[in-house]
């Protein structure tokens, strides 16, 4: 393989990062990058010998920090809050000290643009309890009921809720306008659990195989069957209501 055909390395050294950023930020130095690392604004990986390895995400974080300092004169404390919001899938606060915001495109749909889009890429959010309540339009008692019936949970090992929890909470809030409460919706959870069992049966042979190709195929099947199960459920409900003269 010729040198020109060699694949680009996934990681860059601190000197290579400096050379990459210098055209856009002439004042940046290696000392500055190390300082931002020490302040917790960027966390490069390390080689076995201790050298820093910067990936694409770290380079973009550095660009964000340097731009926020140069163009908006934001202090590092505020930039840190912005980065935390972005890491959690939120929009940074509009004003210094203000709360982060769930993107309106997600609020409007409960994290689910449509059944198939949601199945392909579920929203990867990390929401506090208060952020989830505000985005979904629920009160604390309603959320407690949803959790007690197992309709939604926090992210494993975390105090945050993800985009799936938002999708459930938003749907339940909207169903509540028709007089339905969490206790009425336990059958949805039971049906979903049964569907999960079917999907697991389909992907079990792939999960027993080694290698990223088998795992990628398993993930693809999960996305496809998730979308199809949503479509099938909607079609069956619509058909049943039609037979009853209510479709």
Residues 227 and 161 in one domain: yes
**What average pLDDT does range 108-129 have in this prediction?**
57
Domain count, the chain: 2
Residues 53 and 145 in one domain: no
CATH code: domain of residue 35? 1.10.1660.10
**What average pLDDT does range 125-137 have in this prediction?**
89
- Residue 209 pLDDT greater than 80, yes or no: yes
Q: What is the residue-averaged pLDDT of the chain?
A: 84
Q: Is residue 19 part of a domain?
A: yes
Q: Is residue 97 part of a domain?
A: no
Q: Is residue 92 part of a domain?
A: no
Give the structural domain span for 216. 105-243
| Residue 54, strand partner residues | 12
How far is CA 30 from each of CA 62, 155, 200, rounded to the nearest angstrom? 12, 37, 49
pLDDT tens, residue by residue, 12-65: 999 999 999 999 999 999 999 999 999 999 999 998 888 999 999 999 999 999
Q: What is the pLDDT of residue 105?
A: 58
Q: Is residue 225 part of a domain?
A: yes
Query: Who has greater pLDDT, 93 or 223?
Result: 223
- Residue 112 pLDDT greater than 60, yes or no: no
CA-closest candidate to residue 63, choices 104, 94, 126, 17: 17
Residues 217 and 125 in one domain: yes
Residues 116 and 183 in one domain: yes
CA-closest candidate to residue 110, choices 184, 172, 42: 172
Residues 83 and 109 in one domain: no
Residues 82 and 149 in one domain: no
Q: What is the pLDDT of residue 247?
A: 53
Residues 134 and 56 in one domain: no
Q: Is residue 39 part of a domain?
A: yes
Residues 115 and 55 in one domain: no
Q: Is residue 2 part of a domain?
A: no
- Residue 93 pLDDT greater than 60, yes or no: yes
Q: What is the value of pTM for the model shown? A: 0.66
Our CA dihedral for 84, 92, 110, 148, rounded to 10 degrees, sits at 40
Confidence of residue 230 (pLDDT cuts 50, 70, 90): confident
Q: Is residue 93 part of a domain?
A: no
Confidence of residue 98 (pLDDT cuts 50, 70, 90): confident
Residues 205 and 116 in one domain: yes
Concatenating the DSSP letter of every residue in the chain gives: --GGGSPPPS-B-HHHHHHHHTTT-TT--HHHHHHHHHTTS---EE-TTS-EEB-HHHHHHHHHHHHHHHHH---HHHHHHHHHHHHTTPBPPSSTTPPPB--HHHHTTTT-SSHHHHHHS-----B-HHHHHHHHT--HHHHHHHHHTTS--PPTTSS-B-HHHHHHHHHHHHHHTTT--GGGGHHHHHHHHHHHHHHHHHHHHHHTS-SHHHHHHHHHHHHHHHHHHHHHHHHHHHHHHHHTT--
**What average pLDDT does range 87-107 have in this prediction?**
73
- Residue 9 pLDDT greater than 70, yes or no: no
Q: Is residue 151 part of a domain?
A: yes
Highest mean pLDDT among 26-30, 165-169, 171-175: 26-30
Q: What is the pLDDT of residue 38?
A: 95
- Residue 148 pLDDT greater than 80, yes or no: yes
């Amino acid at each position: 393989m010729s040198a020109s055909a060699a694949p680009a390395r996934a990681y860059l050294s601190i000197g290579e990062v400096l050379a990459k950023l210098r055209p856009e930020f002439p004042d940046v130095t290696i000392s500055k990058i190390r300082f931002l690392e020490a302040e917790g604004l960027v966390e490069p990986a390390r080689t076995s010998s201790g050298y820093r390895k910067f990936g694409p995400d770290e380079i973009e974080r550095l660009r964000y920090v340097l731009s926020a300092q140069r163009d908006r004169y934001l202090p590092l404390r505020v930039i840190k809050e912005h980065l935390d919001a972005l890491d959690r899938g939120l929009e940074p606060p509009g004003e210094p000290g203000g709360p982060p915001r769930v993107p309106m495109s997600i609020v409007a749909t409960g994290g689910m643009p449509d059944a198939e889009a949601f199945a392909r890429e579920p929203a990867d959010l990390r929401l506090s309890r208060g952020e989830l309540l505000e985005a979904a339009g629920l009160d604390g008692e309603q959320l407690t009921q949803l959790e007690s019936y197992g309709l939604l949970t926090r992210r494993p090992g975390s105090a945050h809720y993800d985009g799936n929890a938002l999708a459930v909470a938003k749907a339940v809030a909207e169903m509540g306008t028709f007089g339905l409460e969490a206790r009425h919706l336990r059958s949805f959870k039971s049906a979903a659990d049964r569907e999960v069992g079917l999907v697991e049966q389909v992907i079990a042979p792939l999960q027993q195989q080694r290698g990223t190709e088998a795992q990628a195929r398993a993930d693809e099947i999960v996305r496809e069957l998730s979308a199809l199960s949503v479509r099938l459920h909607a079609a069956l409900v619509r058909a049943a209501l039609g037979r009853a003269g209510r479709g």
